[in-house]
Amino acid sequence: MNVEQKLAELGWTLPEAPKPIAAYVPAVRSGNLLFVSAQLPTREGKLLATGKVPSAVPIPLAQQAAALCAVNALAVAFAELGDWQRLVRVVRIGVFVQSDDGFGDQAKVANGASELLQQVMGDAGRHARATIGVNALPLNTAVEAEFLFEVR
Amino acid sequence: MNVEQKLAELGWTLPEAPKPIAAYVPAVRSGNLLFVSAQLPTREGKLLATGKVPSAVPIPLAQQAAALCAVNALAVAFAELGDWQRLVRVVRIGVFVQSDDGFGDQAKVANGASELLQQVMGDAGRHARATIGVNALPLNTAVEAEFLFEVR
Amino acid sequence: MNVEQKLAELGWTLPEAPKPIAAYVPAVRSGNLLFVSAQLPTREGKLLATGKVPSAVPIPLAQQAAALCAVNALAVAFAELGDWQRLVRVVRIGVFVQSDDGFGDQAKVANGASELLQQVMGDAGRHARATIGVNALPLNTAVEAEFLFEVR
């Protein structure tokens, strides 16, 4: 699985693993599960999208933000594992979309993350998912997502 | 554990496993854990309840919707496992209730799912739970729930 | 790991494990993972803080509420395990903050729980985390948090 090459083909660069914004750690491994903390769509420390979807953030930008959360999660996983061969698959992702009341297209937004993981990791990128809308998120981010990987 | 007979006694029929509404898979197994994607209260493709609880959806209907999420999760688990004997127990459920501001009876709503699992599976249906209210959910569903099973 | 002594140094007393407010169980163990149900900030059955952060509940009080959720989760873990030596580490916590629209300091609130766990358990208290804002929570609690522990 050549994650970085696949990311490059899609126009992404693997960043440094983002640092947590508060008193937690980027990831914890227990057995063969790697729990990656909820990621924000930050690039070089700046949020890609803030505010509610779709009034402040149109769906295509929110999808990009979800994809960026996934890229950041891959960076965290690599920082923990040191070797892509130890990344077995994505097990579950949780996607949180800051939503206007009445907005119901959170699944489209979350697809930004889901499709990126499958494009980059193939079948190993397929995952169970829970996606919800919320009225507020940390730092006013439009999207936040957490990731559970199986590792070896 | 005769899940289908118990469901029938309670007036439910095990449906076909619902297909994901977006780019994820119904369930992923890792070790002895089966992560089932968040389920909507769909029956034959139609949502049982949309909008906020309780202004658009009264609590009893929301409870039915939560129960239907659980029935759908059992259908997904059976489709993955092929044999009820491989279903050991429910470990955790997460329940999301589209809520009016100030509504605080999400636990009653979530009991629709929790009580069904216990009626159908007995002690093996008892589970840890996290229940929250949110202002918006995919497809405007009133209730959504994800499920973690232990399997063999 | 002397959890009760550390709690006492910080001014906390380990309570009786809170009873679930509905049809679920306090915790479920599967393999080496202990899933603790979402905890409310209750002390002797009373919620420490209700309503939205920050309009009804200032951040410092919400942080205390988050810490109290963590204390209650430790009580649940101890009731399950019977021996602190069987508690290996905190793996993940999920923190839900009842938030005003536009509030973005949920991470500060969640630090109330995260910092307590690290003060009490040292490195074993470090964890992955997902923190979100929501518009409504059970019993109108200001904060709710669930906990995943590794156990032996």
pLDDT score for A152? 97
Closest CA to C93 of C78, C73, C108, C76: C73
Q: Give A26's contacts (C-beta < 8 A, 6+ positions apart).
A: A17, A18, A19, A20, A36, A37, A76, A79, A80, C128
Mutant choice from B114, B132, B135, B151 vs C, greatest count of C C-beta within 10 A: B132
Domain membership flag for residue A28: no
Which positions in chain C have a beta carbon within 8 angstroms of at least one beta carbon in chain A?
31-33, 89-93, 97, 99-108, 110-111, 114-115, 118, 126-135, 148, 150
Written as six digits, the tokens of C32 are 């080496």
SS3 label, residue B21: coil
Binding partners of B (≥3 Cβ pairs within 8 A): A, C
CA distance linking residue B36 with residue B77, whole number of Å: 7
Q: Across-strand partners of A128?
A: A92
Quote the ipTM score.
0.97
Mutant choice from C30, C34, C76, C106 vs B, greatest count of B C-beta within 10 A: C30
How would you label B122-139 residue by residue, b for 16+ Cβ within 10 Å and e otherwise? Answer: eebbbbbbbbbbbbbbbe
Q: What average pLDDT does this structure show over A37-45?
A: 96
Determine the structural domain holding residue C109 and report its residue range: 3-13+31-42+49-151
Q: How many C-beta atoms lie closer than 10 Å to residue C119's C-beta?
A: 15
Q: Which pLDDT tens digit goes with each residue over A122-136?
A: 999 999 999 999 999
Binding partners of C (≥3 Cβ pairs within 8 A): A, B
Written as six digits, the tokens of A89 are 């698959």
Domain membership flag for residue C19: no
Domain membership flag for residue C144: yes
Domain membership flag for residue B28: no
CB contact under 8 A, B137 and A132: yes
> From the list B26, B94, B138, which residue is nearest A106 (CB)?
B138
- What CATH number corresponds to the domain at position C120? 3.30.1330.40
CA distance linking residue C3 with residue A69, whole number of Å: 35
Written as six digits, the tokens of A111 are 């697809």
Instruction: Confirm if B141 and B41 have CB atoms less than 8 A apart.
Output: yes
Under 8 Å CB pairs connecting chains A and B tally to 96
Taking the whole predicted model, whether its pTM rises above 0.95 is answered as yes
Q: What average pLDDT does this structure show over B20-31?
A: 94
CA distance linking residue A99 with residue B135, whole number of Å: 8
Instruction: Confirm if C53 and C142 have CB atoms less than 8 A apart.
Output: yes
CB contact under 8 A, A138 and C132: yes
Q: Which pLDDT tens digit goes with each residue over B117-143?
A: 999 999 999 999 999 999 999 999 999
Closest CA to C28 of B144, A37, A36, B150: B150
Q: Which pLDDT tens digit goes with each residue over C59-108?
A: 999 999 999 999 999 999 999 999 999 999 999 999 999 999 999 999 99
Write out chain C in H/E/C secondary structure. Answer: CCHHHHHHHCCCCCCCCCCCCCCCCCEEEECCEEEEEEECCEECCEECCECCECCCCCHHHHHHHHHHHHHHHHHHHHHHHCCHHHEEEEEEEEEEEEECCCCCCHHHHHHHHHHHHHHHHHHHHCCEEEEEEECECHHHECEEEEEEEEEC
CB contact under 8 A, A24 and C129: yes
Is beta strand B27-30 parallel, antiparallel or unpaired with respect to B33-39? antiparallel
Residue A35 has pLDDT above 90, yes or no: yes
- Percentage of chain C beyond pLDDT 90 is 97
Within 8 A of A105 by CB-CB distance, chain B residues are: 138
Domain membership flag for residue B152: no
Which positions in chain B have a beta carbon within 8 angstroms of at least one beta carbon in chain A?
20-28, 30-31, 35-38, 94, 96, 134-141, 144, 146
CB contact under 8 A, A106 and B136: yes
Domain membership flag for residue B150: no
CA distance linking residue B62 with residue B141, whole number of Å: 10
Written as six digits, the tokens of B78 are 């059976």
- C130 to chain B, minimum CA–CA distance in Å? 13
Number of compact structural domains in chain C: 1
- A54 to chain B, minimum CA–CA distance in Å? 12
Residue B1 has pLDDT above 80, yes or no: no
Closest CA to A139 of A20, A2, A54: A20
Q: What average pLDDT does this structure show over A8-14?
A: 95
Q: Is B46 left (phi over 0), alpha (psi -120 to 50) or beta?
A: beta
CB contact under 8 A, B132 and C135: no
What is the CA A82 to chain-centroid distance, rounded? 19
> From the list B97, B101, B127, which residue is nearest C24 (CB)?
B127
Q: φ and ψ at A149, to 5 degrees?
A: -110, 150
Within 8 A of A144 by CB-CB distance, chain B residues are: none
Closest CA to C28 of C76, C69, C87: C76
CA distance linking residue B139 with residue B47, whole number of Å: 9
Q: What average pLDDT does this structure show over A97-120?
A: 98
B21 band by pLDDT with thresholds 50, 70 and 90: confident
- Percentage of chain A beyond pLDDT 70 is 99
Domain membership flag for residue C24: no
Q: Give B83's contacts (C-beta < 8 A, 6+ positions apart).
A: none
